[in-house]
Chains A and B, each alone.
Chain A
Amino acid sequence: MSFVNLAFLVPLFPLIGSIINGFFGLKIGKDRVSWVACAGPVLSFVVTLILLVSIFFHPEGTPYPEQSLFTWISAGDFVVDFGLQIDPLSLVMMMVVTGVGSIIHIYSIGYMYKEYSYYRYFAYLNLFLFSMLLLVMGNNFLVMFIGWEGVGLCSYFLIGYYFEKKSACDAGVKAFIVNRIGDFAFLLAIFGIFKMFGTLDFSTVMAAAPTTLIYDSEAATLITLALFIGATGKSAQIPLYTWLPDAMEGPTPVSALIHAATMVTAGVYMVVRCSALFNMAPLTMMIIALVGGGTALFAATIGTCQYDIKRVLAYSTISQIGYMFLACGVGAYTAAIFHLVTHAFFKACLFLGAGSIIHGMNNEQDIRKMGGLKDHFPITYVTFVISTIAIAGIFPFSGFFSKDEILYHALMDGNVIYWGMGISGAFITAFYMFRLVFMTFHGPSHVDPQVHPHESPMAMTLPLIILAFLALIGGLLGIPLFHGWHLLHNFLAPVLAFDLETALHASERMLAEHGHHTSFAEVLHQAQRTSHNIWLEITLMLFSIGVALAGIATAWFFYIKKPELPGKLSKGQWGFDLVQNKYYIDELIDEALVKPIVKGSDLLWRQADARGVDGVVNGVAQTISLFSKIARSFQSGFVRNYAMFMVVGFIILLILI
């Protein structure tokens, strides 16, 4: 398919943009910088559209096209091409990345215009797009890993964009290092996969997975577990989530693009990409589901007590991604991707809205100093509310469809616990999101008199409108009620197709070869039992809408009806402090992990190295010089001593004989 050969353009455009801005940004002036910067993603978006169209003409059953640019690494039989891959899954991601990316670039023009090192910002941002596109387009683990670390790097740069601020730098480093921990696991997984499969190409590995791995075997579990740990690092799940809230130190558009829409969802993408592997490891799946659900709930609770507008959104992001992982955990990959897309829309919109507010109130972020802003920020207000409703999951907004699909699958393919986590999370989400809205836009104004709130320029409001619109209609991608209507599902089906039955039989055969005879019959039976039950689904929907509404109502009660109530209630409540201080997790890590390491290595250096290892070396030297002093001290200068030594030596020799 000839169009596919355009694939390389998609990442190329941002790269060019980044290079131009990076090297000549200061010379060519801000306007040109903005043009160059926006040209990149927009062009990529266009190309992506072309590819998307072309994919529809892709003949059924044939493997999806890949474009191999050149051989990257080759050592013996280990050969990795620098290859790109165009299949529905990557296309969906590309659409999101380039689409939302373009919008946010345009937004950034307005938001960052006052900055001195405007060019630097856009160079980073383009570079980020490049890496992100590599991540989603790579046709093997290693190219994906380039993007994987690349986005980490860019987020490091962008978080630390205001590098004079210590907090910003620390946040950047923290983000990078926490990500590195994830990458460490990811690397190990890659090694393991190579050891098992002898290659790193997705297509080959996924095709071979059912027949190579043994269902529920150690290897499968360990590899997938390592992959998942990598994902948690990138996607800020328990236990590696702490960097994301701090990451809010970066400029708001960055938070919108990287820490809401695209990068943080890379983990989900990766899990879905490797679905074939995960399907072979039920244990890992369970862990994923639990971690996802747990995170969804946990982060949501923290979100209820935050006062920094961006941090609230950050925690909500963490919890929403938790939902996606919950979906993956129960094998509902489509649902995960679906929620990923819709989330990209409304969460980006929310962040940009927050950005617009911050922009309009000269960098005020504390919602206690806001209130009653809806008159000052009409557009922002509307779009913000739309997205909020979406995230709360009210029909017919996009969030409703995606979240409910997840909840449905959590109950059907998983169990009631998962569902419980999800539904309670949904309640809290609705609560704290509307708390945010109420405290920001409604009620009496607590705005600092010096500050004069004002609506943002066109360049910023337009993206808001677009995103709000998307958040509104995004749900159409997957009308759940009737199978045929679920566009996304049909679209992704070929990628996610997985024949459990043959896989299980293959495993049984392989085990038999090793002499163990086990039958996965009941597993198979379990899997086939679940069938699509439309009425159940509808009831679930109604229930969850009810829950969401309940959450909103509670928020309204606390923050509009009786604004003084929360203060009274929370006063002196240890539970409240605990939650407000994010369960003291950061402090805990700092005490239990960081400080010991620093202390330990300091000890290692000053004691073990300087005193110990080097001490031995110098000690040898000292002993030698000591001996030499002894040796010379015999040399008394008296003839008779010399004679004496001769005689003594002679006698000793005689004795020796």
Chain B
Amino acid sequence: MIPAPEIDLVSLAPVLVLSVFTMLVLLMDLFIGKNKSGLVFISLTGLLLTAVSSFAKTDWPVRSFGGSYVVDHLSVFFTMVFCISSALAILISIEYNRREKIRVGEYYSLILFCTVGMIILASSTDLIMIFLGIEIVSLCLYVLAGIRRGDVRSSEAALKYFLLGAFATGFLLYGMALLYGTTGTTKLAGIAEAISSGQMSSQPLVLMGMVLLVLGFGFKVAAVPFHMWTPDVYQGAPTPVTAFMAVGPKAAAFAAFFRVFTEAMPELASSWDMILSIIAVITMFVGNLGAIVQTNIKRLLAYSSISHAGYLLIAIIARNSLGGSALVFYMLVYTFMIFGAFGIVILIGREGKENLELEDYSGLGFQSPLLALSMSIFLLSLGGLPPLAGFIAKFYIFQAALNEGYVILVVLAVLNSAISFYYYLRVIVYMYMKEPQGEFQITLTPITLLVIVISVLVTVELGLFPGPVLSLAQP
């Protein structure tokens, strides 16, 4: 006989609000014609309201549904990040979709559904919920990746992502099943105490489950060696979707990753921080090394996002409150940097010619200085050069790690960011130090421009005066 869990819809508010609006978008799509701007408006309102409603509960942490859903510092802040990222994604999509003739209304609703999944992922403390969240996110992304139906690359990306994703899901599930079986519960808290009190049926199975989880999450956050899909999918997917993928879902995955490993098995830290450290180091190296030789800007950014996953893993390894806040802050900053960069990538492209090769950026620096300047700002911020936000974020993560005494790890990370400078600089070299191939025909579409401007401002602002946001990020 199952005890009925207490229902606390208020803490579930963001999910509900967003779901409602998503449905609304879905419905409206049927009635309005080719022009989808109405949907955009609805979606944005929805996201706004979601963001607001996430503050419905303020006495953090609030655990509900029998401890399988929590509203706490992490979840709220992440919800913010998700809303921002989705909003930005939608904004940069508008003109892109118009240009690339993507006229499916589901586009926006998919993004919103994905956001719902992310919120769930970030705030659920139960393996089942986490699994659901991951699946919601993934399914939406599979479709989004292939949303350009006429384009082989897009479809191929979708298929690759789908197959590998499902494959990874299998492992993830298996891991969850084992954890559940050995500890007898799916609640993270329960698992934790089962492990700590040593009443698990078999140690090896727990460890195996843990490794399987590492694989599953590792796939979602694109950690080596489970990263192989990233470059292809990022390259194939439509640019706004790529940007979205690189930020939102990744952030969500990291949130869950962080929760599961810090809340469910702190006892096993001794064994998993070793694994994760190795993975983090390899991830950083592979990401950066891979990026060095790329000539396609999207692929380059894909590899760079892999390396960033490496840095973020360090935050998880640090597994202290600092680590959590560092993770959040990093994701926030990362959101703006990535959307800014991809926004410019979209602007450079034009109908029938996406201009994704680095050569296409030659001489941009003096053709349209401001655009080049912003691009440089984003790239250098990604590389972590002061006084830009990226530096503060990295600084934060290094702090977290050094506080726990992971000196070697940090030194390696630092060396990596030195390597990473090389390919970020390469883009700058093309923009400023090479002669232009031909005339640029850049149509500065307003909304994308808006996104870029916002991102620039935030990147610089968070670099110079991160104080307020930092104090928010710290519990």
Given contacts A654-B211, A656-B278, A657-B271, contact A646 B292 (CB under 8 A): no
CB-CB under 8 A from A625, the residues of chain B are 292-293
> Judging by beta carbons under 8 Å apart, are A635 and B215 in contact?
no
Given contacts A639-B163, A643-B164, A645-B225, contact A656 B293 (CB under 8 A): no
CB-CB under 8 A from A627, the residues of chain B are 285, 289
> Judging by beta carbons under 8 Å apart, are B289 and A631 in contact?
yes
Within 8 Å of chain A (Cβ to Cβ): is B454? no
Expressed in whole angstroms, the minimum distance between the Cβ of B153 and any Cβ of chain A is 11
CB-CB under 8 A from A634, the residues of chain B are 228
> Judging by beta carbons under 8 Å apart, are A646 and B211 in contact?
no
> Judging by beta carbons under 8 Å apart, are B163 and A635 in contact?
no
Please name the residue on chain B nearest to A621 by beta carbon. B422
> Judging by beta carbons under 8 Å apart, are A653 and B290 in contact?
no
A608 and B409 CA atoms in complex are apart in Å by: 34
> Judging by beta carbons under 8 Å apart, are B289 and A628 in contact?
yes
Please name the residue on chain A nearest to B207 by beta carbon. A657
> Judging by beta carbons under 8 Å apart, are B293 and A650 in contact?
no
Does more than half of chain A's interface fall in helix, strand or loop, or is it mixed? helix
Please name the residue on chain A nearest to B293 by beta carbon. A628
CB-CB under 8 A from A641, the residues of chain B are 228
Within 8 Å of chain B (Cβ to Cβ): is A613? no
> Judging by beta carbons under 8 Å apart, are B290 and A635 in contact?
yes
Interface positions, chain A 390-405, Cβ under 8 Å from B, are none
Expressed in whole angstroms, the minimum distance between the Cβ of B134 and any Cβ of chain A is 16
Interface positions, chain A 637-657, Cβ under 8 Å from B, are 637, 639, 641-643, 645-646, 648-650, 653-654, 656-657
User: Per a CB cutoff under 8 Å, which of A631, A637, A643, A656 touches B275?
Assistant: A656
Q: Mark B107-148, 1 if CB is under 8 A from A, else 0.
A: 000000000000000000000000000000000000000000
CB-CB under 8 A from A648, the residues of chain B are 225
Given contacts A639-B164, A642-B160, contact A628 B290 (CB under 8 A): yes
> Judging by beta carbons under 8 Å apart, are B228 and A632 in contact?
no
Size bracket, chain A contacts: 20 to 34
Within 8 Å of chain A (Cβ to Cβ): is B219? yes
Does more than half of chain B's interface fall in helix, strand or loop, or is it mixed? helix
CB-CB under 8 A from B228, the residues of chain A are 634-635, 641-642, 645-646
A637 and B271 CA atoms in complex are apart in Å by: 33
Within 8 Å of chain A (Cβ to Cβ): is B229? yes
User: Per a CB cutoff under 8 Å, which of B164, B215, B229 touches A649?
Assistant: B215
CB-CB under 8 A from A632, the residues of chain B are 289-290, 293-294
> Judging by beta carbons under 8 Å apart, are A646 and B163 in contact?
no
Within 8 Å of chain A (Cβ to Cβ): is B286? yes
User: Per a CB cutoff under 8 Å, which of A653, A656, A657 touches B215?
Assistant: A653
> Judging by beta carbons under 8 Å apart, are B226 and A646 in contact?
yes
Within 8 Å of chain B (Cβ to Cβ): is A487? no
> Judging by beta carbons under 8 Å apart, are A649 and B289 in contact?
no
User: Per a CB cutoff under 8 Å, which of B208, B212, B290 touches A631?
Assistant: B290
Counting residue pairs across A and B whose Cβ atoms lie within 8 Å, the total is: 76
Within 8 Å of chain B (Cβ to Cβ): is A207? no
Interface positions, chain B 201-237, Cβ under 8 Å from A, are 207-208, 211-212, 214-215, 219, 224-226, 228-229, 231-232
Interface positions, chain B 148-176, Cβ under 8 Å from A, are 159-160, 163-164, 167-168, 171
CB-CB under 8 A from A657, the residues of chain B are 207-208, 211, 271, 275
> Judging by beta carbons under 8 Å apart, are A624 and B292 in contact?
yes
> Judging by beta carbons under 8 Å apart, are B208 and A654 in contact?
yes
User: Per a CB cutoff under 8 Å, which of B164, B274, B293 touches A642?
Assistant: B164
Q: Mark B379-404, 1 if CB is under 8 A from A, else 0.
A: 00000000000000000000000000
CB-CB under 8 A from B207, the residues of chain A are 657
> Judging by beta carbons under 8 Å apart, are A653 and B211 in contact?
yes
Expressed in whole angstroms, the minimum distance between the Cβ of B20 and any Cβ of chain A is 37
Within 8 Å of chain A (Cβ to Cβ): is B419? yes
> Judging by beta carbons under 8 Å apart, are A646 and B293 in contact?
no
> Judging by beta carbons under 8 Å apart, are A646 and B225 in contact?
yes
A629 and B286 CA atoms in complex are apart in Å by: 10
A390 and B290 CA atoms in complex are apart in Å by: 88
Q: Mark B260-275, 1 if CB is under 8 A from A, else 0.
A: 0000000000010011
> Judging by beta carbons under 8 Å apart, are A635 and B164 in contact?
no
CB-CB under 8 A from A645, the residues of chain B are 225-226, 228
CB-CB under 8 A from B271, the residues of chain A are 657
User: Per a CB cutoff under 8 Å, which of A624, A637, A639, A653 touches B289?
Assistant: A624
A632 and B302 CA atoms in complex are apart in Å by: 12
> Judging by beta carbons under 8 Å apart, are B164 and A653 in contact?
no
Please name the residue on chain B nearest to A645 by beta carbon. B225
CB-CB under 8 A from B274, the residues of chain A are 656
> Judging by beta carbons under 8 Å apart, are B419 and A624 in contact?
yes
> Judging by beta carbons under 8 Å apart, are A628 and B292 in contact?
yes
A428 and B285 CA atoms in complex are apart in Å by: 82
Expressed in whole angstroms, the minimum distance between the Cβ of B165 and any Cβ of chain A is 11
A631 and B167 CA atoms in complex are apart in Å by: 23
A632 and B235 CA atoms in complex are apart in Å by: 14
A646 and B164 CA atoms in complex are apart in Å by: 9
Please name the residue on chain B nearest to A634 by beta carbon. B228
CB-CB under 8 A from B293, the residues of chain A are 625, 628-629, 632
Please name the residue on chain A nearest to B291 by beta carbon. A628
Given contacts A642-B160, A656-B274, A656-B275, contact A649 B292 (CB under 8 A): no
CB-CB under 8 A from B275, the residues of chain A are 653, 656-657
Q: Which residues of A contact B (CB under 8 A)?
A: 624-625, 627-632, 634-635, 637, 639, 641-643, 645-646, 648-650, 653-654, 656-657
29 A-B residue pairings within 8 Å (CB atoms): A624-B419, A624-B422, A625-B292, A628-B289, A628-B291, A629-B293, A630-B289, A631-B286, A631-B289, A632-B290, A632-B294, A635-B228, A635-B232, A635-B290, A639-B159, A639-B164, A642-B160, A642-B164, A643-B163, A643-B167, A645-B228, A646-B215, A646-B219, A646-B225, A649-B224, A650-B215, A653-B215, A656-B274, A656-B278
Apart from A632-B289, A639-B160, A645-B225: 15 A-B pairs, beta carbons within 8 A: A624-B422, A628-B292, A631-B289, A634-B228, A635-B231, A642-B164, A642-B228, A643-B164, A646-B167, A646-B215, A646-B228, A648-B225, A653-B215, A656-B275, A656-B278
